[in-house]
Amino acid sequence: MGSWDVALSKHEEVGERLARTSETESLGVNPQSRGDVAFQYLASAVWPFLEAEQIGTPVSRQEEDNILGYGPEGY
């Protein structure tokens, strides 16, 4: 955060996200096309780099906690 950034409450954060969603919809951005763009990105820039044994293997709880940075105390 910069010196001018202010932490928002959860209520304010939800309001901000709803406002951004409304702005996006008013610009005529199709949510389906955003999904298509995300899929194309994954198909071209992420999935080709996965090792064969990783495909179809779910992430374990321990791996998920490590990725999210959770420690033994849960935070």
Dihedral over Cα of 18, 23, 24, 26: its sign: positive
**Distance from chain centroid for Cα 7:** 20
Give me the pLDDT at residue 4, please: 54
Report percent pLDDT > 90 for the chain.
Answer: 20
Whether the predicted pLDDT of 13 surpasses 70: yes
Query: pLDDT tens for residues 55-72?
Result: 888 999 999 998 898 987
Whether the predicted pLDDT of 41 surpasses 60: yes
